[in-house]
Structure 1
Amino acid sequence: MWREISSDEQVDIRVDGHRVRAYSFGKGPGTVLCLNGGPGLPCDYLREAHSCLIDHGYRVVAFDQLGTGASDRPDDASLWTIGRYVAETETVRRELGLGKVHLLGHSWGGWLAIDYALTHPENLASLILADTVADIPHLVSELERLRAALGSETVAMMQKHEAEGTLDHPEYMAAITLLNYRHVCRLPEWPAPVRRSLDDWNMGPYVTMQGPNEFLYTGNLKDWNRVPDLPKIKAPVLIVNGEHDELTPACALRMKTAMPEAEVGIIRNSSHMPFYENPEDYYRVLVDFLSRHGAGT
């Protein structure tokens, strides 16, 4: 089960003139390389949720993506592209000498993991797509369905504020808060690593790439769709989603349809963070998959 563990090593890596901070746990023969969501979030919430895989014989590596956490935070919007983050991920893997990795991407980190898998397939032992999607336009349609459950008047109110640009209005923020507690994390108190990441969110990459909040996509990834390319991924794939996830089980099914050999685990009584909301079921699915596809115990 997850717990906060001190990293065995912290390494600063130079990526195109910028400094990126990586964290390493354990010494196992197989490595799980974690790509966290956001964009713009420090890796705390995903790092702390998966460092416990050292108990199963894995080395676990996470890093603060450029612009986040202990990494450099340049003020240059041209840096916030998925292609640059793919190159950054490869630099981290290569500089740490990780060899083939079990690449675990959560949320935005899953989009990054998919593009990495298509660019560097030779470096994957397996691919874990956690609470993520391969088709942003399809996701947008799913988010509209989740918003509709708030009622037509609330949806109309949200659309009014989105049209007028008044996204900081209290009634709009109240609707977003409700959606977050339904579909991002359903725990009455969010875990400390989640709060740390959220409190240190760099909204520059987030707004540039995604949009102003979890339920409105206006950034440079709004048309991103890799479903036609998914059959090119030959590594073993695990797709895992929360039952009430904002990145819905329908999004998982869309990926599964394109990759018939992929395994799918839908974690009951959870939303976007099943590793905190229902860790027992989440880790059982994850560890079982890893045990069949790579080094560990």
Structure 2
Amino acid sequence: MPPAHRTHEGTVDFDGHHTYYRLTRDERPTTGPELPLVVLHGGPGCTHDYLLGLTDLVRPGRPVLHYDQLGNGRSTHLPDRPADFWTVGLFLRELENLLAALDIESYDLLGQSWGGMLAAEHAVLRPGGLRRLVIANSPASMADWATDAARLRAALPAEAREALDAHERAGTTDSADYAAASAEFYRRHVCRLDPMPPEVARTFAWIDEDPTVYHAMNGPTEFHVIGSLRTWSVVDRLPRIAVPTLVVNGAHDEAGEASVRPFLERVPDVRGRCFPDSSHMPHVEERGAYMRAVADFLD
């Protein structure tokens, strides 16, 4: 971290549990009130770790707030809760609780993947404190996500396609063969860097340790969505977003053209950016260009 940056970690109470947060700020003097950038991680079931590079966006007056959503990472884990406990509404309330507990009245919001879906759900409620919105690598509906996934799966090597199809039909998605076939999709469309950055690997390790939320809401993999989000859509509500919005994805992203098109067509004040050498994580795959694009938008 630059010498002027300081990080504070803590937790806030939420429904008798705790939400972990990490706030990084530049302590150099600034004029005017702070306008934090609040970061929503993906999954559902990931952690903030893979998005830690977004501290590149810290400026005087612009701290960056990461947190681990309930059930994940350093927040309270609840592996015994039934699948219907894990809802969009739960995570909206957690976000609102965190903002209130930290006395954040005005803020920018960046959500990546599932985090962008959650950010859109938050924005359509027209919260008074929201100033700008970044939706990164996210679908506006899971039907569109499935369309993109089918297109990308069809381009996998035949051996990988056949293994995925066979194990999904048999219900053996916990097998080593299914994991190996899935890895081919992930290398192409989730993170194209080799080796995988350590902060990204840490997030995947957290999911492996406790996949409760990921399995309940998503499913066994990014491209086989059988959890509670399988029918989710925000498309018809997108015209209610009342703040400037930046929509980003990668040219090789699992959140492809079908996934992001509704945002670009229906959000009133919107602009888009596609990173040509990236898949689902341009914030690490093309870090410099990504940070410049987001900083220009926030500024």
Considering the TM-score relative to the shorter chain, is it more than 0.5?
yes
Given that 2:25 and 2:60 are in contact with CA atoms closer than 8 Å, whether structure 1 keeps it comes out as no
Q: Deviations over 1:34-59 (max 9, x none)?
A: 0000111221111x111121146411
CA distance in 1, matches of 2:5, 2:156: 41
Partner of 2:54: 50
Mapped contact 2:47–2:72 kept (Cα < 8 A): yes
Matched AA of 1:183: H
CA separation of 1:45 and 1:151: change in aligned 2, threshold 3 A: closer
Counterpart for residue 97 of structure 2: 91
Asked if residue 220 in structure 1 is aligned to residue 219 in structure 2, the reply is no
Which residue in 2 is equivalent to 1:295? none
Give the 3-state SS of the residue equivalent to 1:221 in structure 2: helix
Contact kept? 2:19, 2:75, Cα under 8 Å: yes
Deviations 1:66-99 (A, max 9, x none): 1111111123134311110000000001110111
Equivalent in the alignment of 1:259: 267
Larger displacement relative to structure 2 (172-181 or 220-229): 172-181
CA distance in 2, matches of 1:73, 1:175: 29
Stretches of structure 1 that go unaligned for 5 or more consecutive residues are 292-297
Between the aligned partners of 1:73 and 1:260, the Cα distance in structure 2 is 38
The AA in structure 1 aligned to 2:19 is V
Deviation at 1:26, TM superposition (A): 0.5
Residues in 2 aligned to 1:104 and 1:266: alpha-carbon distance in whole angstroms: 16
In the TM superposition, residue 62 of structure 1 has moved relative to its aligned partner by: 1.1
Counterpart residue identity of residue 61, structure 1: L
CA distance in 1, matches of 2:47, 2:227: 20
After TM superposition, the structure 1 = structure 2 runs for residues 89-128 of structure 1, keeping only pairs within 5 Å, are 89-128=95-134
Q: 1:119, CA displacement in angstroms? A: 2.7
**Compared CA separation, residues 171 and 11, structure 1 to 2 (3 A):** closer
Distance 1:146 1:252, change over 3 A: same
Question: SS where residue 200 of structure 1 aligns?
Answer: helix
Asked whether the 8 Å contact 2:125–2:240 carries over to 1, the reply is no
Aligned equivalents of 1:275, 1:41: Cα separation in 2:
16
Cα offsets for 1:122-147 (capped at 9, x unmatched): 22111100111111011101101100
Cα separation, 1, equivalents of 2:45 and 2:96: 19
Residue number in structure 1 paired with 2:72: 68
Identity among equivalent pairs (%): 35
1:260 positional shift: 4.8
- Residue 182 of structure 1: aligned partner: 188
In structure 2, the CA distance between the partners of 1:95 and 1:222, relative to structure 1 (3 Å rule), is: same
2:54 is aligned with what amino acid?
A: H
Q: Does 1:146 align with 2:145?
A: no
Q: What's the RMSD between the two structures over aligned residues?
A: 1.9
The counterpart of 1:33, out of the listed 38, 55, 71, is: 38
Q: What CA distance in whole angstroms lies between the structure 2 residues aligned with 1:198 and 1:226?
A: 27
Secondary structure, counterpart of 2:45 in structure 1: coil
Contact 1:33–1:61 (CA<8 Å) still a contact in 2?
yes
Q: Say which SS state the counterpart of residue 132 (structure 2) adopts.
A: strand
Which among 261, 273, 289 is matched to residue 281 of structure 1?
A: 289
Matches within 5 A, 1:237-248: 237-248=245-256
2:245–2:270 contact (8 Å) kept in structure 1: yes
Q: Which letter maps to 1:229? A: R
> How far apart are the structure 2 equivalents of 1:207 and 1:14?
25
Contact 1:242 1:249 in 2 (8 A): no
- Taking structure 2 as the reference length, the TM-score comes to 0.91
Q: Is contact 1:31-1:59 (8 Å) kept?
A: yes
| C-alpha contact 1:49 1:275 (8 A) present in aligned 2 | yes
Change (3 A) 1:72 1:170: closer
Number of residue pairs aligned between Structure 1 and Structure 2: 288
Write the letter of the residue equivalent to 1:68: N
TM-score, length of structure 1 as denominator length: 0.91
